[in-house]
Structures are given as structure tokens and as C-alpha cells.
Amino acid sequence: MVQKIRIIGGKQLKGEVSISGAKNAVLKLMAAALLVKGESKIYNVPELTDVIIMLNVIEQLGAKTYYDKKEKSITIDATNLTSVTASYELVSRMRASFVVLGALVGRCREAVVALPGGCAIGERKVDFHIRGLEALGTNIKIENGYVHAKAKKLIGTDIYLDIPSVGATENIMLASVLAEGATRIQNAAQEPEIIDLANFLNAMGADIIGAGTSEIVINGVKQENLRPIEYTTIPDRIEAGTYMAAFIATKGKGIIKNIFPNHLTFYTSKLTKMGADIKLIDPTSIEVSCKKRLEAINIITQPYPGFPTDLQSMAMSLATVADGVSIITESLYENRFMQVPELRKMGADIHQERNHALVKGVKNLTGANLRASDLRAGASLVVAALMAEGESIIDNIFHIDRGYELLENKFKMLGADIIRYSEDDNSIISQGKGNLSESQL
Ligand code: EPU
């Protein structure tokens, strides 16, 4: 059933929205649960298609899982793993599942994991993941599109990453928890999701220090030192950043609850510079509003704590109506301006040259038929459509469903005129059921 979102823009958003658990954290915690024998439980799990794919991946490996939608928890019993193969069919549907490679090498000393390949936003190589595991003593062969990894022993060592890759840092951390001696990752990724993974692993009995800095040391422990745990995932900073942009875009005013504001410091400072008013209400809530026309801004995406690439497209949507010319530079991915042609359909004035975009603010955008090319580009079109004059129809919304729990329900609660409908018979899809149909669960 092909679903689309229809938005009639121009409504000021008002009210409170609560942020879900972080997709990019929970997927890695699920892989980490494979390291331990016994039943681990993860709370604050968002209801997303990516979570279901990850459940399928770890079930394929023999883990038993139970997803309690009401409680928003997942239970994973990895006592008996019966396979070390993650199939192309699943890994190609979601790149993040490649992180089971490190967990399998750590736990089983063997893994056969499909290479994820590139995707809409860029080539997305995995060479640092592979070099990191090789440095630990893993023998790796690439055959028929699969990484075949085998290790007699894993011995801790110093690993330097050319780029602070999130996925490579995670795969190396997961593999080295059960290695002999100390592994030191230099130029490690510092994202909050890395800290969450380290906290999860340490609660399980691992010995990891320095997560959140550029040097992480993992002191290997023995399998019998690990125990299953219960753990609550951090809030999704990118979802929060999307709602911040939406309040600002519609000149609305609202409270965003269940967030860690210090995960969004750089983004918040840029939005404030543009003219938004962002106030801390309490340690996990902020109030966002905007009364005046935004001002143009210059942005360069960087690894954390720099400006997040995942929020670049939201900032671009805001820049399309700001006063003056904004320069936006995407420095992480080769192809992360997929929203540009869609925003142009809405009247945006954007000139793109390689990884730079010159955005000349116009007075307002107008609704159009739009296509979500990937998750974050898709979300930025929702933000643009919410502030545009008239009706927008967004197609290919399965991309958006990968990362935003109950998107149209949350926006509806804030006063947006938004519906999800089936293209086949134009029927409105029932609200309040989450992103997943019963057959997917
Ligand atoms: N890179 C390499 N070789 C490697 C690994 C990475 O060249 O071995 C390059 C990539 O091609 C990319 C850059 O390094 O140009 C950064 O990639 P990184 O490995 O840091 O990203 P990732 O782990 O694949 C995660 C998030 C992304 C987010 C990036 C950057 C998950 C599941 N995904 O990807 O999130 O954009 O970090 O912060 O955690 C999203 O949620 O929509 C999303 C794409």
C-alpha cells in the first residue's frame, strides 16, 4: 500500500511534543545485547521500521526477541546464537545493521555479514570498520558481497581512524569488549550515541573509558564478566532538532520534552543566531519560538560536537525563507542535498555547487508535490511544507518512517493540518497506531 502525507501549510504550531528514543542509539544497543548470554531489556525504543529490521537481523542470528510496543521495550535473549550470518536481504535494507559485525566477532570470533553498499546520501564505505577489526587480529576476506571475518584471538591495540566514523567506532568498541588487553581508538567519534553504547556496555560489565572524547580505551574483559541488563535509550536529538525547526518555521511556540538539550548545543546556537528564541525550561525540556523573520546563516556540517549533518536539511528549509543569503556546506556526505530540487519546486532560490549550497531567502514557500529521497531530506520537506502556503503532497514516505515515530500524530497534536493517506483508495490511514502495521510486528 503506497502511503503519502498531505500537509496544508501555514498553521502556527503550538503545544508540547515529547521526543522518542534515539534510533541511532537503540539500533547499536540491540547489537550490543548479542555480546551477553541471558536476557537484556532495552527501554524507550521508538516504533520504527529500522528497529523491526534490526530485530529481524538479530533473530536471524538465533537471538530470541520480544517487542513490547505498549511498554516501548525490547527484550533480547542472546544465550544461544545459532548463526553468524547477517544476510544481504536484511543488511541492504538498513546499513546500521552492519554493526552486528563487531558484536559477532567479539562474541563468536566469526562473522559473515553482507556489505551494505552505498545509499542515496553517498558512498558510505566501511574500510575503517574492516581495518579496525583486522588490527585486533581478525582475518577478513570479502567474497560475493559478504565480509567473512574470523579471529583465533582478539588482541587489543591502538587504532587510529582517518575520520571519526560513528559506525567504525561502534564496530571496534563492540569487537574489543571481549578482546585481550586494551584497545585504544584514536580520533574516535564523539556522538552522544557512542556514549550511550559505552554506558550500555559498561553496565553489562565492560570496561570502557573516554567515550564522548576523541580517545576511547576499551579494556578487554572475559565473557563470564558480562551480565544481561536493563537500560533506557537516550532521546533522539535529530527528532528533537526537527521539531525545533518546525516550531521556528511556522512562527509557532512550543515545548519539546524528553530531550537532552546539551546534545543540541551547536544546532541551538545557529538557530538562535538566525533569530529563534530557545529557552531551557528544565533539564529535559526546552521552549522554542520565533516571532520575526529569520536571518541568513552560514553552516558547515561536522562530526559531533559540530553542526550535525542529519540536521543540515532542516536548517536549509529554514534558510529558504530567511532574510539574506545563507551558505550551507555539507562536509560529511557527497550527496546530502537531495532536498534541493524539491525545495526549488516550492519556490526556494538555491544554487548548488558540489557540496556547497547558496540559499537566497524568499518571502515564503508554496506547496507542491514532493518526493522524499532519504530520511532527513524527507523530514526537511515536512518542515518546509508546514510553513508553505497551500497544499503539499509528500511521496516516498517510507524513508521518513525509518526515523520518525508517529510523525503526523505528533504534528497534528501541535495544530498542523497533516494526514497520511493511501494512494490506492485515498483513504486516510488511522492515526495513533504508530508507524508499523500489525503485519510488520
Ligand atoms: N566513512 C568512510 N569509511 C568508513 C566509515 C565511514 O569513508 O569506513 C565515511 C562515510 O562515507 C561518511 C563519513 O565517513 O562520509 C561519516 O560516516 P560515519 O561512519 O560517521 O556514519 P555512519 O556511522 O554510517 C551514522 C548515522 C548517520 C549519521 C552519521 C554521521 C547511524 C545508523 N547512522 O552513520 O545517520 O548521519 O553517523 O553523524 O548511526 C540518519 O540517521 O539519517 C543517518 C544517516
CB-ligand 1 contact for 162 (6 Å cutoff): no
Q: How far apart are the first and last CA of the chain?
A: 17
In the block, cell 525509518 appears at 402
Of 119, 120, 358, 413, which is the active-site residue? 119
Q: Which three cell numbers stand for residue 427?
A: 483513504
Number of Cβ atoms within 10 Å of the Cβ of 311: 26
Q: Which atom in ligand 1 lies closest to the alpha carbon of residue 127?
A: 8
| Angstrom distance (rounded) from CA 3 to CA 395 | 7
Do 3-20+236-440 and 23-232 come out as alike in CATH topology?
Answer: yes
Which residue, by CA, sits nearest to atom 10 of ligand 1? 124
CB-ligand 1 contact for 349 (6 Å cutoff): no
**β partners of residue 223:** none
| Angstrom distance (rounded) from CA 403 to CA 397 | 11
CB-ligand 1 contact for 168 (6 Å cutoff): yes
Hey, where are the domains in the chain? Answer: 3-20+236-440, 23-232
CB-ligand 1 contact for 123 (6 Å cutoff): yes
CA of 46 to the centre of ligand 1 (A): 20
Give the pLDDT of residue 426: 76
CB-ligand 1 contact for 270 (6 Å cutoff): no
CB-ligand 1 contact for 159 (6 Å cutoff): no
Give the pLDDT of residue 421: 93
CB-ligand 1 contact for 24 (6 Å cutoff): yes
Catalytic site includes residue 290: no
Give the pLDDT of residue 117: 67
Q: Which three cell numbers stand for residue 291?
A: 516571532
CA of 273 to the centre of ligand 1 (A): 27
In the block, cell 559506525 appears at 167
CATH homologous superfamily, domain 3-20+236-440: Enolpyruvate transferase domain (3.65.10.10)
Three-state secondary structure call for residue 173: helix
Give the pLDDT of residue 208: 98
Q: What is the pLDDT along the chain (441 residues), one digit of tens a residue?
A: 789 999 999 999 999 999 999 999 999 999 999 999 999 999 999 999 999 999 999 999 999 999 999 999 999 999 999 999 999 999 999 999 999 999 999 999 999 999 986 677 777 889 999 999 999 999 999 999 999 999 999 999 999 999 999 999 999 999 999 999 999 999 999 999 999 999 999 999 999 999 999 999 999 999 999 999 999 999 999 999 999 999 999 999 999 999 999 999 999 999 999 999 999 999 999 999 999 999 999 999 999 999 999 999 999 999 999 999 999 999 999 889 999 999 999 999 999 999 999 999 999 999 999 999 999 999 999 999 999 999 999 999 999 999 999 999 999 999 999 999 988 777 888 544 455 543 443
Give the pLDDT of residue 2: 87
CA of 119 to the centre of ligand 1 (A): 11
CA of 329 to the centre of ligand 1 (A): 17
Report angle CA 383, 384, 385 to the nearest 5 degrees. 95
Test site for ligand 1: of 301, 332, 355, 400, most ligand atoms within 8 A of the Cβ: 332
CA of 13 to the centre of ligand 1 (A): 32
In the block, cell 537566497 appears at 360
- The correct CATH number of 23-232 out of 3.65.10.10, 3.40.50.300, 3.40.228.10, 3.20.20.70 is 3.65.10.10
| Angstrom distance (rounded) from CA 227 to CA 38 | 7
Test site for ligand 1: of 166, 196, 238, most ligand atoms within 8 A of the Cβ: 166
Q: Of 344, 318, 314, which is closest to residue 330 (Cα–Cα)? A: 314
Prediction pTM value: 0.96
Burial of 8 (0-12, 13-18, 19+ CB in 10 A): middle
